[in-house]
Structure 1
Amino acid sequence: MSQAPRPPEDARRLNLRPRSYDHPDVRRLTADLYREQLARYGFADAPDDLPAAFAPPNGLFLVAYEDETPCACGGVQTHAPGVAEIKKLYVATSHRRHGLGHRILEALEDAARASGARRIILETGSRNTEALSLYTRTGYQPIPAYRERDATINRALAKDLSP
């Protein structure tokens, strides 16, 4: 029997920090996400959400740093009473396959739960198989679209948050 894989060395130097949506590290990471979505789908949502959408008490935006290098991000915001929405979850290509997406997702779920959300929703694209796999592994289930989007590409998912 083989040993369980050890976390990469960089995982021990990783920390998550809340950032305003207009912080330079957030702007760089969300611009990278935009370029990646544009290459994958031929279109993408502009990364110009209003900073207030991710500001407490209505939301939170996190950046993951390896040492002092920003390498991943994600945000959560109030969608409706008792419902939070995860947005802009992104891990830089150089830092994938180390559990960073899962770590940010858990932190955002915890923040949503602490703010009173009982359900969390999100959207991703059908070609983003890595994200779909992460969301499925962590308990997200398909739901009908909650925004007007192309149903052949967009996937809406939800998860009930237990206390």
Structure 2
Amino acid sequence: MTDVGHRSPEPDEAAPGWSVRHVAYGDPDAVALTEEVQEIYVERYGGPDATPLDPLMFDPPEGSFFVGYLDGVPAASGAWRRSPAGALGVEPGSGAAVEIKRMYVRPAFWRRGLARRMLSHLEADAAASGARLVVLETGDQQPEAIELYLSSGYTPIPGFGYYADSPSSRSFAKLLHP
């Protein structure tokens, strides 16, 4: 596994105290945030996200995992991975389509714009890696996530991936600008 956890956090000049650090999937802060979001899935859906994930999916160049810190405290997470399936006219296996995973903001940090900042960071990082399209999936019990994605320029698409046929699944896509 690539050791990416020692990179310095990248400060966000527009949000004092906010920084994002590229980490390995097994980084302790990443693990804690992932476990917390799974608990929320259990509360809202009756079980955790069962999507099969290999931690190597989040190692560059196949993907990246990030933790966002507010005043040095881990507050948010987000990741992207290459999408193996063709989507919306993007050639399968071209690396031009990525999927966002593990977007999460701890409840103590809600309503501060951190989810939007993390989403923006993920999109910029994916675009820098050659991605032209971002896809993601959320559920109907996460209206705040659906609103974030719609207000960030994502459009609904047919279901894909592990939850493609789930009636509670909501899928979205956004074209990235190079």
**TM-score (norm: length of structure 2):** 0.82
Give the number of equivalent residue pairs: 153
8 Å CA contact 1:21, 1:50 repeated in 2? no
Unaligned runs of 5+ in 2: 1-14, 85-93
Name the amino acid aligned to 2:72: E
Q: Report what 1:156 is aligned to.
A: 171
Shift of 1:50: 2.5
1:90 to 86, 104, 107: 104
Shift of 1:51: 2.2
Shift of 1:14: 1.3
Q: Report what 1:17 is aligned to.
A: 21
Distance in 1 (alpha carbons) for counterparts of 2:69 and 2:48: 25
Q: Report the 3-state secondary structure (helix = DSSP H, G, I; strand = E; otherwise coil) of the residue aligned with 1:117.
A: coil
Shift of 1:45: 1.3
Name the amino acid aligned to 1:68: G
The one-character-per-residue Cα deviations of 1:55-112 (angstroms, maximum 9, x if unpaired) are 1111111101122211100001111321011000000000011010000100100111
Q: Equivalent pairs: percent with the same residue?
A: 40
Unaligned runs of 5+ in 1: 1-10
1:137 to 140, 145, 151: 151
Distance in 2 (alpha carbons) for counterparts of 1:118 and 1:93: 31
Shift of 1:156: 0.8
8 Å CA contact 1:34, 1:47 repeated in 2? no
Shift of 1:146: 1.1
Distance in 1 (alpha carbons) for counterparts of 2:74 and 2:177: 31
Name the amino acid aligned to 1:146: F
Name the amino acid aligned to 1:33: V
Q: Report what 2:64 is aligned to.
A: 60
Name the amino acid aligned to 2:177: S
After TM superposition, what 4+ stretches of structure 1 lie above 4 angstroms from structure 2? none
Shift of 1:48: 7.8
Q: Report what 2:76 is aligned to.
A: 72
**TM-score (norm: length of structure 1):** 0.89
